[in-house]
Amino acid sequence: MKFVGFKMIIIIALSLIGSVVNSQETSEFKLPTNFKPVSYELNVVTHLEDKFMFEGVVCIRMTCVGATDTIVLHSTSLNIDTKSVVVANGGENVIPVSNVSFDTDKELMHVTSTVNFKPCDEYVLTIPFTGNLTDDPVGYYRKSYVDKESNLTRWLAVTYFEPLGARRAFPCLDEPGYKATFKIRLSHKKGLTSISNMKLMNQINCPSYSDYVVDEFEESPPMSTYLVAYMVSDFVYIDANSENDQVKYRIICRKDLANQTEFSINLGPKVIKYYEDYFDEKFPLHKQDMATIPDFPTGTMENWGLITLQESSLLIDLDVNTIDDVYSVARLVIHDLAHQWFGNLVTMKWWTGLWLNEGFAEYVGIRAVDFMFPEWKSFQVKNLRNFLLVLDPDSLQSARPLSVAIGKPDEIAPISGDPITFAKGPILLHMMNTFLGENTFKQGIRNYIHKYKFSNAEQDDLWCSLTEEAHRQGTLDKNLTVKQIMDSWTLQTGYPVLNVIRDYSAGTVTLSQERYLSIKSNGTDNKTCWWIPITMTTSGDINQTNATFWLNCENNNLTTPLAKDNEWVIYNMQMTVLFRVFYDTRNWMGIICTLNDPTKYETIPTLNRVQLILDSLSFSQVGDMDYEITFQLLKYLKHEKQYSPWFAALFSLRRIDNLLKRTPKRAVFQNNMRDILSCIYNKFRNMDDKVNGYENIKFQNLVISNACEYQTKDCIQRVLDLFRKWMKSIDPDNNNILPIELKYPIYIQAIKYGGVEEWNFLWKRYQRCNLRSEQKYMMLALASTSIESLLQRYLNWSLDDSFIPKEDASLVFYFITLNEAGFLLAKEFFYCKISEIYEYYQRQDYSLSEYVSDIASQMKTKEELEEIQSFIIKSSCYFKEPDLIIDDTIETIKSNIELTSKFYNKIELGHFDLFRIGWVLDRESRNSQLHRFPNPYGYKHESQLIKNIISDQSTL
């Protein structure tokens, strides 16, 4: 899978054409079904340092399924001597080949015979090939690093095949549905080593090259081509002392990083044992390798038996890294080990199933982290982060369904890197776990694994296994199937809002649903509806949390009894289902009264407090609810002791803060931010005090970051004092005196409020740092300066890989766009250098679309919208689908314009009193009648707002 870390978790998902899966829609772009591969014998010779190329031979044993005279398979970027291509019947009788041709657009190779291939017969296709080891990180490519001991450049060669890279390394049937066994032999120079998916069986001298050896690996089980992996390097191997003798667990990395493997080498075997128990299925291979790759293009790749990762995704120095770094490594390791069963043992039939492949590994992964490290209590935090990743992008008209039809190959990349794929899936799986129950859910998964192991399946197969088990255990009505429920969530775009309107005189409540949109469409889409499990609690019965019924298309305007004396009702207990809830004003005020009572607010569960914060802010932003109700609710934060509600409030208000950048009223906003942060800041202000516990550490980071961001003088001074003390220390690279858990916000704020000397000092630390996770935060910090000359230099360096690794160039640009002082510089840089950027990324327009998205996210005026539209049209030659880029950009900026217009005039210069008691607009009668509500506790004016900054590592 692909974790894109810092950036992709906050960019808006790219739109894709298509919604409900349609096999006819994709058949044009898939291989014909005349042949099914049985096995591959793959021999590859790797030439590093001198030729930077590889040569090889692949022998594909395949069964003819339908009569034809042509074998069609994938091949691209390879040199093939067509005269050397051989087809044999049963491996013995040579079949005459009349023609070998290539369709470069579709990356296909056609091998045509003078006679028809016969159904049920086996054939062996032998193809010799050569290819170049380029620095483009796809297929079989090269990578360099500088050996710390000798200061020499070293080279390695490694594969990256998901989704369509195997065809660049050897001719093959490169679709996930074509599983086959693989027998791999790797030849390389003596002094280097090789690894592949399977265990090394034998090494002999290479007959073709005297200074080469041949490594032969055992044959694999049936597997898809995108999971094949191999690597040649001079890396070292660290073996785990595993209790599981059947599975050898190793970490492979650069020699100078071997001391950072202790955490992961101890974790891996325990995780394998956990999944063996969870899936009730033994690990199917004899070994599991985890190989770290310098500047790996994505976070991780779950190749069967050989997971490849960024160095920061696996390696940890427990004396230097923060608890968030440790959590991140644990989650990534556990996620990719989950894939060894769900994704590798059982594989999607086609890329339409990518969401399930990734979503399930993510869900069971965060459950496993919670099991392995119960003291972290991390499940709730991660589940909340997934909601925050999904709620905004999935409320756009341009959002795509979770299960999206994949037609052309270039439609795969966008879905493999957006938050809908990785975050919405776990939310829906947690919802299923909740309404089916843990026992039903787990046994249904086990049945699915047992039934489809070593083969392919699709989401309907999983729904069927879960339905059968639910009916057997009696946890789902016999007239209802999981498919009925889940198709409404996976095949439709977006998510619903549950409208809750009470009739207080009659003692009833009416529930209805519609799609939630952050920008309202011209007409209401009454056809879109979801199967929603209804859970609720009231002020009279706070323990009522079981699902009472389902709301769906057939009962989408349902009235049920509700006691008159209940002060309030709250739906969606523990926020287990993806929907917002809109209450009538009187119900909101009843909730607000309870929240603002320090003795009662905890009667509302923590995650429901989170949802109330998220929903009220969102309804106010889109104009459905007056801001004054929302700010009345937010007053309760003064006595909130939990991290998650604070995090939700800060994250949601961040968009308001972003839209106030470069406006006169931002200073008013900042002043009130300091007011509300004053109490909680006093709790954490002593930065040398050690805070214990995962959530408390994140809480401290959140508060310190915000207090400094909003110019709390005491915070700024403490940060600068600590940073400058570090600057004066002896050997600052090996003697970082900053508090470990606060060093990242200190980096950021010290650079923001410091000068050239501080910037140059941190730049040197960045250059000498060998911890990838730490480098990322240094990159963010360096982009936080307000000194334009430094920002301009930093932008120029982003296109020079001797300063900034190529894969980090767009990250530097993104960080600078977030800086109020850097946005205009970054925008002008992109406008002037789009041609240079395009060439730097080897003409990959997807990278350019990220730059456009970064700029658009910060724009909020009609003039800016016209400006960037004009630029995209003028620069259309750099984009494959400029109209799609324009559509996404227009929607993003129009949303910003609309949101700005709704709250900007409420901010009065010199008197920003959004928490005043006043007149509020009831949704039911907002066009006719105003309702006044009293101040329940006699509070005086409290101008309190909070924001979350992207620079806080405790945010997404």
Instruction: Could you list the residues known to form a binding site, using ranges.
Output: 335, 339, 358
Handedness of CA 726, 715, 326, 426 (dihedral sign): negative
Rounded Cα distance between 936 and 107, Å, is 69
Cα 596–Cα 601–Cα 607 angle in degrees, nearest 5:
120
Q: What share of the chain is helix, strand, coil (3-state, %, to 5)?
A: 45, 20, 35
Strands (E) in 573-633, as ranges, are: 580-583
User: Which backbone phi and psi does 591 adopt, to 5 degrees?
Assistant: -65, -45
d(CA 704, CA 373): 26
Q: Cα(588)–Cα(600) distance, rounded to whole angstroms?
A: 16
C-beta separation of 800 from 770 below 8 A: no
- Helices 694-709 and 378-391: crossing angle in degrees, nearest 10, is 40
The token pair that represents 655 in the structure block: 């968009």
Match 């296909």 to its residue by tokens.
Answer: 108
Binding-site residues for Zn(2+): 335, 339, 358
What's the half-sphere exposure (Cβ side, CA atoms, 13 Å) at 500?
Answer: 20
d(CA 298, CA 292): 11
Q: Which residue has the tokens 């090259």?
A: 209
Mention every residue, 6+ apart, whose C-beta is less than 8 A from residue 766: 775, 778, 779, 782
Q: Cβ atoms within 10 A of the Cβ of 645, count?
A: 25
CB 567, CB 539: distance < 8 Å: yes
φ, ψ of residue 295 to 5 degrees: the values are: 55, 45
CA dihedral (328, 330, 333, 339) positive or negative: negative
Give the pairing of strands 287-293 and 248-253: parallel
**Where does 422-544 have alpha helices with state H?**
425-436, 438-452, 459-473, 482-490
SS3 per residue for 84-153: HCEEEECCCEEECEEEEEEECCCCEEEEEEEEEECCCCEEEEEEEEEEECCCCCCEEEEEEEECCCCCCE
φ, ψ for residue 750 (rounded to 5)? Answer: -65, -40
Rounded to an integer, what distance in angstroms lies between the CA atom of residue 661 and that of residue 681?
Answer: 23
C-alpha 76/C-alpha 689 separation (Å) is 58
Cα(373)–Cα(377) distance, rounded to whole angstroms? 8
Tokens of 526: 């009454």
